[in-house]
Amino acid sequence: MRSAGILMHISSLPSPYGIGTMGKAARQFAQFLQRAGQHYWQILPIGQTGFGNSPYQCCSTCAGNPYLIDLDLLIEDRLLLEQEVRAIDWENHAERVDYEFQGSVRFGLLRRAFQRGADRYEREISDFRRENPWVEDYALFLAVRESRGGESWEHWPEELRLRRRGVKESYATVLAEEMNFYIFVQFLFDRQWHDLRAYVHSLGIEIIGDLPIYVPYDSCDVWANPELFQLDAQGRPTAVAGCPPDYFSEDGQLWGNPLYDWDKMRQDGYRWWMERIRSAAKLFDVIRIDHFRGLESYWSVPAGEETARNGKWVKGPDHDFTAAISRNFPQLRLIAEDLGFLTPEVIRLQRDSGYPGMKVLEFAFVPYEPSSYLPHNYERNCICYSGTHDNETLGQWLASLNEETAAYVAEYLGVRTREECHWGVLRAGMASVADTFIAQMQDYLELGAEARMNEPGTVGAENWSWRVDETMLTDALADKIARLTRMYER
């Protein structure tokens, strides 16, 4: 089925409370998507953001981000009082997401909701705990970390860091109330998410979610499952993730995430991964697997290195892993994020898996050189993107082109000016043979550098903080997108 969608994370939605949430604005955006003739709403990972405010650095692979819980819905449920919410100075933190501010005010409100709702929803919370066993380790992890002033688990007492027999149960008894709070927050998130997803489905729209390939070291996943990672006897990484030096970076990229012990994971059929995918399948209709090429082989950097230069390629689980997914989830729809330097082995894995790969138009235009990202080279089984959250916005990219590249883009698209190139690129994606075309919301809005979602390799307040102004999501724009979508039978 030919289809189209729009990429915009929930945090970028308009709302009165400094960050997009799962409330009214999310439903209004779903209505915008329906009017625009879109079938998919693609979002970024919805986990609790960590280092650099990145949704790809979450303290749990399964937990939802408390910042995305809608406060107005909590007022409607009588878990918060309107005056409690209005008393906070949201207005001075509204233009972009201020994560430090969100962290300073959100949990105080959620604790009030917990005080009012823990007993009221006791039975529902008990059901939630039974259906989501991951939440126990998550809640204990956060409760211990809070009791130790936010300290990373690598600095916890040895018996707790290494989870000696009986120690976990002892801490769980002492910190039971704090654990109950964090479980209650996840219960609220789960309830609001499934209500939103049901509404989105009622409009004929499906959600594409994102599954980061790696998890951060300071996460409950690593603490609770150290045997599944490349750690030493003291629980510290022996090798970390990254990517090798290339044209863009002479030192490569040192991500620092602990690497998986794939041999150990293979012994139980990748149980941890299958549970993780099962959890994601409860949330999303389609799942994008981040850094898919790392499943064929991954760049392993010795722990302690300051750059990724001295890493090496190590064989990953390859076809054995994708076969396990197929056995456990025969109906699951997945997307392979297969960007970057692709060897014949990676291409073979993607094709054999059957997962559609990604084609990014901003990567396509190298003057008069062949490129697999140019639309005339596509096969049907792929997803065409104008750009991703890691790219420049389309407007920013076009403005940065040198004269030769700009002339080539215009010639390829059959347009006369740079201004015409913007919608020419979007038309080329829509017209392509790719089964699905997805554009960032920023690209339909013709926004520039100020609206870029993330600049890889950098950490700063601008990353992950862009928010759309609700006045931008007009009926006229939705109708324009809808005409383009109908024209190319999506």
Please identify which of the residues 70, 98, 210, 337 carries the catalytic annotation. 337
- CA-to-CA dists, residue 432 to 19, 117, 245, 362, angstroms: 35, 51, 33, 15
Assess contact for 21 and 15: CB atoms under 8 A.
yes
How far is the C-alpha of 467 from the C-alpha of 12, rounded, in Å?
4
Contacts of 160 (CB under 8 A, 6+ apart): 144, 167, 168, 171
Backbone dihedral region for residue 417 (phi beyond 0: left; psi -120 to 50: alpha; all else: beta): beta
469 as an active site residue: the answer is no
Contacts of 102 (CB under 8 A, 6+ apart): 18, 19, 67, 93
- Helix then strand then coil, in percent of the chain rounded to 5, is 45, 10, 40
Assess contact for 325 and 334: CB atoms under 8 A.
yes
Please identify which of the residues 275, 285, 390, 420 carries the catalytic annotation. 390
Assess contact for 199 and 31: CB atoms under 8 A.
no
Assess contact for 222 and 162: CB atoms under 8 A.
no
89 as an active site residue: the answer is no
How far is the C-alpha of 218 from the C-alpha of 359, rounded, in Å?
33
Q: What value does the CA radius of gyration of the chain take, rounded to a whole number of Å?
A: 23
Please identify which of the residues 218, 290, 338, 392 carries the catalytic annotation. 290
How far is the C-alpha of 477 from the C-alpha of 490, rounded, in Å?
17
Assess contact for 32 and 205: CB atoms under 8 A.
no
Provide the b/e sequence for 24-36 (b: ≥16 CB within 10 Å): ebbbebbbbbbbb
What DSSP state is assigned to residue 383?
Answer: E
290 as an active site residue: the answer is yes
How far is the C-alpha of 14 from the C-alpha of 472, rounded, in Å?
10
What DSSP state is assigned to residue 237?
Answer: B
Q: Which of 109, 176, 194 is nearest to 140 (CA)?
A: 176
3-state secondary structure of 93: helix
Assess contact for 215 and 230: CB atoms under 8 A.
no
What DSSP state is assigned to residue 361?
Answer: G
Assess contact for 34 and 204: CB atoms under 8 A.
yes
Provide the b/e sequence for 280-305 (b: ≥16 CB within 10 Å): bbebbbbbbbbbbbbbbbbbbbebeb
Active centre residues (catalytic): 290, 337, 390
